[in-house]
Amino acid sequence: MTYLLLAPRSVGVIDLGSQADIPVVLDAMRVLGRAPSEVCWVAPTHLHFDHVLGIDAFARRLGVPILLGRVAHEATTGRRRLRFPSRLHLLRAIPTWPMQGLPFPPWADWRDGFGFGFPGAPNRFRARQLAPPEHGAPLPGLPGWSLLDGPGHADDAVLFHHPGSGCLVAGDTVRNFYGGEWNPLLCDRHDYARTQALIRSLPVETLLPAHGPVINGPEPVARLRTLPAWMP
């Protein structure tokens, strides 16, 4: 799932899981009446392949920079190794693949081998990177939005928050396969508990998960389920 953050004169693009998504995003912008020149950055919510495989190609095609959180930025410069959910967690995730229609990345995504978004991947972006914002800092080019660190599902997971409207782009920290649930796939459950507490403390009216439809209605965070261990 790709999200476009729209400001009066700028657009932020979040998550591109495949190069095949690039023309779809450009079509969507055309429909919205927004020019490619308005894109101020493209950002993955975290460095997992299904969020990042189209990022570098999109940035280079439009000549825009890549925005990463501090931890993801450290990983791309080799100063930090990212943990992934354990094998047991990944086994649990297998049934969610057919649930999403068995998506499979096209050949263009594999030209870089396992260069992006896999355990041990170097994540060497060729496009220019912006300086990573600190936790809570405003997002460059998008007034009213801020970037928050949200580790737990991934060490480098970030959240995009707009306190004025209560929008929270949550990446894989929140899912919606069953009406809205906390993600059971974690690399660190203590970090995740802190991120859950952070999200509960924020003004949130609309939750935008990376997988599944938008979660809104009354108190979307309070309604998130914690799944029992047998559910994928």
CB of 85 to Zn ion, least distance (A): 8
Rule CB under 5 A: choose which of 3, 10, 47, 48 binds Zn ion.
Answer: 48
User: Between residues 38 and 172, which has the closer beta carbon with respect to Zn ion?
Assistant: 172
Residues 6+ apart with CB under 8 A from 232: 92, 93, 94, 95, 96, 99
CB of 143 to Zn ion, least distance (A): 28
Any contact of residue 172 with Zn ion (CB under 5 A)? yes
Token pair 């450009």 is found at 26
Stretch that binds Zn ion, among 1-9, 76-84, 166-174, 198-206 (CB under 5 A): 166-174
Q: Which residue from 147, 124, 169, 168 is spatially nearest to 67, judged by alpha carbons? A: 147
CB of 15 to Zn ion, least distance (A): 10
Any contact of residue 175 with Zn ion (CB under 5 A)? no
User: Between residues 21 and 172, which has the closer beta carbon with respect to Zn ion?
Assistant: 172
Stretch that binds Zn ion, among 12-20, 43-51, 65-73, 161-169 (CB under 5 A): 43-51
DSSP 171-205: ETTEE-SSSSEE----S-HHHHHHHHHHHHHS--S
Q: State which residue has the least CB distance to Zn ion.
A: 48
Residues 6+ apart with CB under 8 A from 7: 141, 142, 143, 144, 145
CB of 37 to Zn ion, least distance (A): 31
The first and second tokens of residue 154, run together, are: 């991934």
Instruction: Please give the backbone phi and psi of residue 32, each rounded to the nearest 5 degrees, phi first.
Output: -80, -5
Binding site residues, Zn ion, CB under 5 A: 48, 172
